[in-house]
Structure 1
Amino acid sequence: MAAMDVFLDRLDPDMCVVTAAAHGERAGCLVGFSSQCSIRPVRYVVWISDVNRTFRVARSADVLAVHLLARDQRGTAELFGGLTGDDVDKFRRVRWREAYGGAAVLADAEAWFVGRVVERTAGGDHVGFVLEPVEWGGRERAAGQAGGPLLRLADARTVRPGHPVD
Protein backbone atom coordinates (compact mmCIF):
# COMPACT_ATOMS: atom_id res chain seq x y z
CA MET A 1 0.00 0.00 0.00
CA ALA A 2 2.95 2.36 0.59
CA ALA A 3 3.36 2.81 -3.16
CA MET A 4 -0.21 4.10 -3.35
CA ASP A 5 0.46 6.70 -0.62
CA VAL A 6 1.78 9.14 -3.25
CA PHE A 7 -1.83 9.39 -4.42
CA LEU A 8 -3.84 8.74 -1.25
CA ASP A 9 -1.89 11.20 0.91
CA ARG A 10 -3.03 14.04 -1.37
CA LEU A 11 -6.72 13.37 -0.78
CA ASP A 12 -8.61 15.48 1.76
CA PRO A 13 -12.27 14.48 1.43
CA ASP A 14 -15.17 15.92 3.40
CA MET A 15 -15.96 13.78 6.41
CA CYS A 16 -19.53 12.83 7.26
CA VAL A 17 -21.40 11.15 10.06
CA VAL A 18 -23.59 8.25 8.97
CA THR A 19 -26.40 7.13 11.25
CA ALA A 20 -28.44 3.94 11.07
CA ALA A 21 -31.50 2.67 12.90
CA ALA A 22 -32.94 -0.84 12.77
CA HIS A 23 -34.70 -3.24 15.13
CA GLY A 24 -34.78 -0.70 17.98
CA GLU A 25 -31.05 0.07 17.77
CA ARG A 26 -29.34 3.28 16.68
CA ALA A 27 -25.73 3.66 15.63
CA GLY A 28 -23.52 6.22 13.96
CA CYS A 29 -19.94 6.66 12.83
CA LEU A 30 -17.57 9.13 11.24
CA VAL A 31 -16.98 8.25 7.58
CA GLY A 32 -14.20 9.39 5.29
CA PHE A 33 -15.15 7.36 2.23
CA SER A 34 -18.27 8.71 0.50
CA SER A 35 -19.30 10.36 -2.75
CA GLN A 36 -22.04 10.95 -5.24
CA CYS A 37 -21.97 7.96 -7.57
CA SER A 38 -24.74 8.76 -10.08
CA ILE A 39 -26.27 11.91 -11.56
CA ARG A 40 -29.49 10.44 -13.00
CA PRO A 41 -30.85 9.04 -10.85
CA VAL A 42 -29.07 10.77 -7.98
CA ARG A 43 -27.21 8.19 -5.91
CA TYR A 44 -24.69 8.58 -3.11
CA VAL A 45 -22.46 5.89 -1.61
CA VAL A 46 -21.06 5.69 1.92
CA TRP A 47 -18.46 3.10 2.87
CA ILE A 48 -18.67 1.68 6.40
CA SER A 49 -16.02 -0.51 8.03
CA ASP A 50 -17.25 -4.05 8.58
CA VAL A 51 -15.79 -4.09 12.13
CA ASN A 52 -17.89 -1.08 13.11
CA ARG A 53 -21.05 -1.30 15.23
CA THR A 54 -22.73 1.05 12.76
CA PHE A 55 -22.17 -1.57 10.07
CA ARG A 56 -23.94 -4.18 12.19
CA VAL A 57 -27.00 -1.92 12.47
CA ALA A 58 -26.81 -0.54 8.91
CA ARG A 59 -26.81 -3.96 7.26
CA SER A 60 -30.43 -4.37 8.46
CA ALA A 61 -31.53 -0.75 7.91
CA ASP A 62 -33.77 0.33 5.05
CA VAL A 63 -32.47 3.93 5.21
CA LEU A 64 -29.33 5.71 6.41
CA ALA A 65 -28.79 9.37 7.24
CA VAL A 66 -25.65 11.16 6.03
CA HIS A 67 -24.54 14.38 7.76
CA LEU A 68 -21.94 17.00 6.84
CA LEU A 69 -20.26 18.73 9.77
CA ALA A 70 -18.71 22.18 9.95
CA ARG A 71 -15.02 22.37 10.77
CA ASP A 72 -15.90 23.74 14.22
CA GLN A 73 -17.98 20.61 15.02
CA ARG A 74 -14.92 18.58 15.91
CA GLY A 75 -16.58 17.44 19.15
CA THR A 76 -19.31 15.72 17.17
CA ALA A 77 -16.68 14.15 14.92
CA GLU A 78 -14.80 12.85 17.97
CA LEU A 79 -18.02 11.47 19.48
CA PHE A 80 -19.00 9.55 16.35
CA GLY A 81 -15.47 8.67 15.26
CA GLY A 82 -13.61 8.13 18.51
CA LEU A 83 -16.14 6.24 20.62
CA THR A 84 -17.92 3.00 19.93
CA GLY A 85 -21.64 2.55 20.37
CA ASP A 86 -20.79 -0.77 22.00
CA ASP A 87 -19.81 1.30 25.08
CA VAL A 88 -21.61 4.66 24.73
CA ASP A 89 -25.05 5.86 23.62
CA LYS A 90 -23.82 8.62 21.31
CA PHE A 91 -27.36 9.88 20.72
CA ARG A 92 -27.71 10.92 24.38
CA ARG A 93 -24.94 13.46 23.75
CA VAL A 94 -26.38 15.19 20.67
CA ARG A 95 -29.63 16.74 19.52
CA TRP A 96 -31.34 14.49 16.99
CA ARG A 97 -34.75 13.66 15.61
CA GLU A 98 -36.41 10.78 13.89
CA ALA A 99 -36.90 11.30 10.15
CA TYR A 100 -38.07 9.36 7.10
CA GLY A 101 -38.13 5.60 7.68
CA GLY A 102 -36.99 5.97 11.29
CA ALA A 103 -33.62 7.50 10.35
CA ALA A 104 -31.79 9.40 13.10
CA VAL A 105 -30.97 12.93 11.87
CA LEU A 106 -28.49 15.07 13.81
CA ALA A 107 -30.15 18.44 14.43
CA ASP A 108 -26.94 20.49 14.31
CA ALA A 109 -25.46 19.10 11.09
CA GLU A 110 -24.52 21.64 8.42
CA ALA A 111 -26.42 19.59 5.85
CA TRP A 112 -27.92 16.11 5.81
CA PHE A 113 -29.95 13.69 3.77
CA VAL A 114 -31.75 10.43 4.39
CA GLY A 115 -31.26 7.82 1.71
CA ARG A 116 -33.04 4.58 0.99
CA VAL A 117 -30.50 1.75 0.72
CA VAL A 118 -30.72 0.48 -2.86
CA GLU A 119 -27.58 -1.65 -2.90
CA ARG A 120 -24.83 -2.95 -0.64
CA THR A 121 -21.48 -3.83 -2.14
CA ALA A 122 -18.36 -5.36 -0.61
CA GLY A 123 -15.17 -3.36 -0.99
CA GLY A 124 -12.41 -5.00 1.03
CA ASP A 125 -12.71 -4.08 4.72
CA HIS A 126 -15.61 -1.67 4.04
CA VAL A 127 -19.10 -2.17 2.63
CA GLY A 128 -20.60 0.42 0.30
CA PHE A 129 -24.20 1.45 0.91
CA VAL A 130 -25.65 3.01 -2.23
CA LEU A 131 -28.36 5.47 -1.23
CA GLU A 132 -31.30 7.05 -3.04
CA PRO A 133 -31.96 10.43 -1.33
CA VAL A 134 -35.54 10.72 -0.05
CA GLU A 135 -35.34 13.60 2.46
CA TRP A 136 -32.77 16.36 3.09
CA GLY A 137 -32.11 19.58 4.93
CA GLY A 138 -29.54 21.61 6.79
CA ARG A 139 -28.87 24.54 9.07
CA GLU A 140 -31.11 27.52 8.53
CA ARG A 141 -29.17 30.61 7.42
CA ALA A 142 -30.07 34.22 6.78
CA ALA A 143 -30.50 35.14 3.12
CA GLY A 144 -27.11 35.43 1.44
CA GLN A 145 -25.22 33.94 4.40
CA ALA A 146 -22.88 31.20 3.24
CA GLY A 147 -21.96 28.22 5.37
CA GLY A 148 -18.48 27.88 6.80
CA PRO A 149 -15.86 25.32 5.81
CA LEU A 150 -16.78 21.67 6.21
CA LEU A 151 -14.90 19.15 8.34
CA ARG A 152 -12.34 17.39 6.17
CA LEU A 153 -10.02 14.44 6.64
CA ALA A 154 -7.11 16.74 7.58
CA ASP A 155 -9.25 18.15 10.42
CA ALA A 156 -10.06 14.68 11.75
CA ARG A 157 -6.72 12.87 11.38
CA THR A 158 -6.14 12.87 15.16
CA VAL A 159 -9.52 11.26 15.96
CA ARG A 160 -8.66 7.75 17.13
CA PRO A 161 -11.23 5.25 15.83
CA GLY A 162 -13.59 3.70 18.36
CA HIS A 163 -13.14 0.44 16.42
CA PRO A 164 -9.59 0.40 15.02
CA VAL A 165 -9.18 -1.26 11.65
CA ASP A 166 -6.62 -3.52 13.34
Structure 2
Amino acid sequence: MAMLDGPVFVVTTQTEGHPSGCLISFATQTSVRPPSFMVVMPRSSATCDAARRSEHLAVHVLAQHQVALAELFDGETDDEADKFAHCSWRAGPNEMPILDEAIAWFVGRIAHWIDIGDHVAYIVEPVAGWVPDAYEDVLYLSDLDDLEPGHEAPERFVLHKPAAEPRKYGIRFTLDGPV
Protein backbone atom coordinates (compact mmCIF):
# COMPACT_ATOMS: atom_id res chain seq x y z
CA MET A 1 0.00 0.00 0.00
CA ALA A 2 2.96 2.31 0.58
CA MET A 3 3.48 2.61 -3.18
CA LEU A 4 0.13 4.39 -3.62
CA ASP A 5 0.50 8.16 -3.64
CA GLY A 6 -2.73 10.04 -3.16
CA PRO A 7 -3.72 13.51 -2.08
CA VAL A 8 -4.17 14.31 1.58
CA PHE A 9 -7.12 16.26 2.94
CA VAL A 10 -8.01 18.04 6.14
CA VAL A 11 -11.44 17.06 7.42
CA THR A 12 -13.17 19.35 9.89
CA THR A 13 -16.42 19.25 11.80
CA GLN A 14 -17.93 20.76 14.91
CA THR A 15 -20.17 19.58 17.68
CA GLU A 16 -21.69 21.75 20.38
CA GLY A 17 -19.76 24.75 19.02
CA HIS A 18 -16.34 23.06 19.31
CA PRO A 19 -14.33 22.67 16.08
CA SER A 20 -12.34 19.53 15.40
CA GLY A 21 -10.14 18.51 12.48
CA CYS A 22 -7.57 15.99 11.29
CA LEU A 23 -5.38 15.19 8.31
CA ILE A 24 -6.45 12.14 6.30
CA SER A 25 -4.93 10.26 3.40
CA PHE A 26 -7.73 7.74 2.80
CA ALA A 27 -10.44 9.36 0.68
CA THR A 28 -12.11 8.84 -2.68
CA GLN A 29 -15.12 9.74 -4.78
CA THR A 30 -17.74 7.01 -4.48
CA SER A 31 -20.53 8.15 -6.82
CA VAL A 32 -21.13 10.66 -9.60
CA ARG A 33 -24.94 10.73 -9.50
CA PRO A 34 -25.78 11.44 -6.79
CA PRO A 35 -22.34 12.79 -5.89
CA SER A 36 -20.72 11.24 -2.84
CA PHE A 37 -17.26 11.06 -1.34
CA MET A 38 -15.73 8.74 1.27
CA VAL A 39 -13.40 10.01 3.98
CA VAL A 40 -11.72 7.55 6.32
CA MET A 41 -10.47 8.58 9.76
CA PRO A 42 -8.64 6.68 12.50
CA ARG A 43 -11.15 5.51 15.08
CA SER A 44 -8.84 6.88 17.80
CA SER A 45 -9.04 10.44 16.37
CA ALA A 46 -10.97 13.06 18.33
CA THR A 47 -12.31 14.26 14.96
CA CYS A 48 -13.72 10.80 14.26
CA ASP A 49 -15.52 10.91 17.58
CA ALA A 50 -16.86 14.40 16.82
CA ALA A 51 -17.95 13.27 13.34
CA ARG A 52 -20.14 10.54 14.86
CA ARG A 53 -22.04 13.30 16.68
CA SER A 54 -22.25 15.65 13.70
CA GLU A 55 -24.44 15.66 10.60
CA HIS A 56 -21.80 17.20 8.29
CA LEU A 57 -18.09 17.18 7.48
CA ALA A 58 -15.97 19.71 5.62
CA VAL A 59 -13.25 18.31 3.34
CA HIS A 60 -10.34 20.62 2.46
CA VAL A 61 -7.82 20.30 -0.37
CA LEU A 62 -4.33 21.66 0.36
CA ALA A 63 -1.63 22.94 -1.97
CA GLN A 64 1.89 21.46 -1.99
CA HIS A 65 3.27 24.54 -0.24
CA GLN A 66 0.89 24.04 2.72
CA VAL A 67 2.90 21.37 4.53
CA ALA A 68 2.77 23.39 7.78
CA LEU A 69 -1.04 23.42 7.70
CA ALA A 70 -1.06 19.66 7.07
CA GLU A 71 1.35 19.13 9.99
CA LEU A 72 -0.89 21.21 12.26
CA PHE A 73 -3.84 18.90 11.61
CA ASP A 74 -1.80 15.68 11.56
CA GLY A 75 -1.28 15.41 15.31
CA GLU A 76 -3.75 14.92 18.11
CA THR A 77 -3.83 17.53 20.85
CA ASP A 78 -5.45 17.58 24.27
CA ASP A 79 -7.58 20.49 23.06
CA GLU A 80 -8.73 20.25 19.44
CA ALA A 81 -9.46 24.00 19.45
CA ASP A 82 -5.69 24.61 19.75
CA LYS A 83 -5.34 23.61 16.10
CA PHE A 84 -7.87 26.23 15.09
CA ALA A 85 -6.15 28.91 17.20
CA HIS A 86 -3.10 28.49 14.94
CA CYS A 87 -4.81 28.92 11.56
CA SER A 88 -7.34 31.16 9.86
CA TRP A 89 -10.85 29.69 9.61
CA ARG A 90 -14.50 30.65 9.61
CA ALA A 91 -17.87 29.02 10.11
CA GLY A 92 -19.14 27.93 6.70
CA PRO A 93 -22.21 26.10 5.43
CA ASN A 94 -23.98 24.13 8.16
CA GLU A 95 -21.62 25.82 10.67
CA MET A 96 -18.70 23.63 9.52
CA PRO A 97 -15.20 25.02 10.17
CA ILE A 98 -13.74 26.15 6.81
CA LEU A 99 -9.97 26.63 6.58
CA ASP A 100 -9.31 29.95 4.82
CA GLU A 101 -6.01 28.70 3.34
CA ALA A 102 -7.50 25.61 1.65
CA ILE A 103 -7.26 25.74 -2.14
CA ALA A 104 -10.69 24.08 -2.43
CA TRP A 105 -13.28 22.64 -0.04
CA PHE A 106 -16.73 21.14 0.21
CA VAL A 107 -19.19 20.46 3.00
CA GLY A 108 -21.03 17.17 2.88
CA ARG A 109 -23.92 15.64 4.77
CA ILE A 110 -22.95 12.37 6.43
CA ALA A 111 -25.09 9.77 4.66
CA HIS A 112 -23.51 6.59 6.10
CA TRP A 113 -20.58 5.46 8.18
CA ILE A 114 -18.99 2.07 8.76
CA ASP A 115 -16.22 0.70 10.97
CA ILE A 116 -13.31 -0.60 8.88
CA GLY A 117 -10.47 -2.12 10.90
CA ASP A 118 -8.97 0.65 13.02
CA HIS A 119 -10.70 3.36 10.94
CA VAL A 120 -14.22 4.65 10.30
CA ALA A 121 -15.37 5.44 6.76
CA TYR A 122 -17.86 8.26 6.30
CA ILE A 123 -19.83 8.62 3.06
CA VAL A 124 -20.67 12.28 2.59
CA GLU A 125 -22.96 13.90 0.05
CA PRO A 126 -21.74 17.39 -0.91
CA VAL A 127 -24.15 20.23 -0.12
CA ALA A 128 -21.84 23.23 -0.68
CA GLY A 129 -18.31 23.89 -1.84
CA TRP A 130 -15.77 26.21 -3.36
CA VAL A 131 -13.12 25.70 -6.06
CA PRO A 132 -10.78 28.37 -7.44
CA ASP A 133 -10.68 29.67 -11.00
CA ALA A 134 -7.04 28.50 -11.29
CA TYR A 135 -5.58 25.32 -9.86
CA GLU A 136 -2.46 24.81 -7.75
CA ASP A 137 -0.51 21.60 -7.28
CA VAL A 138 -2.25 19.45 -4.66
CA LEU A 139 -0.44 18.20 -1.53
CA TYR A 140 0.23 14.46 -1.79
CA LEU A 141 1.18 11.84 0.79
CA SER A 142 4.71 11.69 -0.63
CA ASP A 143 5.10 15.42 0.10
CA LEU A 144 4.78 14.54 3.79
CA ASP A 145 7.46 11.84 4.02
CA ASP A 146 8.70 13.20 7.35
CA LEU A 147 5.33 12.81 9.10
CA GLU A 148 4.79 9.72 11.19
CA PRO A 149 1.38 8.02 11.10
CA GLY A 150 -0.92 9.13 13.90
CA HIS A 151 -1.26 5.61 15.28
CA GLU A 152 0.47 2.25 15.28
CA ALA A 153 -0.35 -0.26 12.56
CA PRO A 154 -2.18 -3.37 13.77
CA GLU A 155 0.15 -6.30 14.43
CA ARG A 156 -1.83 -8.60 12.12
CA PHE A 157 -0.57 -6.72 9.05
CA VAL A 158 2.94 -7.50 7.84
CA LEU A 159 4.39 -5.21 5.22
CA HIS A 160 7.06 -6.57 2.90
CA LYS A 161 9.20 -4.05 1.07
CA PRO A 162 11.49 -4.76 -1.86
CA ALA A 163 15.17 -4.60 -0.94
CA ALA A 164 15.98 -1.70 -3.26
CA GLU A 165 13.09 0.71 -3.57
CA PRO A 166 13.67 3.73 -5.85
CA ARG A 167 10.64 5.71 -4.58
CA LYS A 168 8.64 5.56 -1.41
CA TYR A 169 5.40 6.00 -3.35
CA GLY A 170 4.07 5.04 -6.76
CA ILE A 171 3.37 7.04 -9.87
CA ARG A 172 1.55 10.34 -9.50
CA PHE A 173 -0.92 11.13 -12.28
CA THR A 174 -1.92 14.55 -13.52
CA LEU A 175 -4.20 15.69 -16.32
CA ASP A 176 -1.09 15.76 -18.54
CA GLY A 177 -0.16 12.12 -17.78
CA PRO A 178 2.27 10.38 -15.38
CA VAL A 179 4.76 12.50 -13.44
1:135 aligns with 2:123: no
1:84 aligns with 2:72: no
TM-score using structure 2 length: 0.80
* Residue of structure 2 equivalent to 1:124: 117
* Residue of structure 1 equivalent to 2:54: 61
- Displacement of 1:85 in angstroms is 3.4
CA distance in 1, matches of 2:62, 2:152: 23
User: Are 1:63 and 1:114, in contact at CA under 8 Å, matched by a contact in 2?
Assistant: yes
- Displacement of 1:87 in angstroms is 4.2
* Residue of structure 2 equivalent to 1:159: 147
- Identity fraction in percent: 37
Between Structure 1 and Structure 2, which shows a larger proportion of helix residues?
1
AA at the equivalent of 1:160: E
5+ long unaligned stretches in structure 2: 154-179
Deviation readout 1:59-79 (Å, 9 max, x if unpaired): 101100000000000000000
Deviation readout 1:102-128 (Å, 9 max, x if unpaired): 100101101000000010111111101
AA at the equivalent of 2:138: L
- Displacement of 1:160 in angstroms is 2.9
TM-score using structure 1 length: 0.86
AA at the equivalent of 2:76: T
User: Are 1:109 and 1:138, in contact at CA under 8 Å, matched by a contact in 2?
Assistant: no
User: Are 1:34 and 1:46, in contact at CA under 8 Å, matched by a contact in 2?
Assistant: yes
* Residue of structure 2 equivalent to 1:148: 136
AA at the equivalent of 1:86: D
Number of residues paired by the alignment? 152
1:95 aligns with 2:88: yes
RMSD over aligned CA atoms reads 1.5
CA distance in 1, matches of 2:145, 2:27: 16
SS at match of 2:59: strand
CA distance in 1, matches of 2:110, 2:77: 22
1:19 aligns with 2:12: yes
User: Are 1:17 and 1:28, in contact at CA under 8 Å, matched by a contact in 2?
Assistant: yes
Which of 18, 24, 30 is residue 31 of structure 1 equivalent to? 24
* Residue of structure 1 equivalent to 2:44: 51
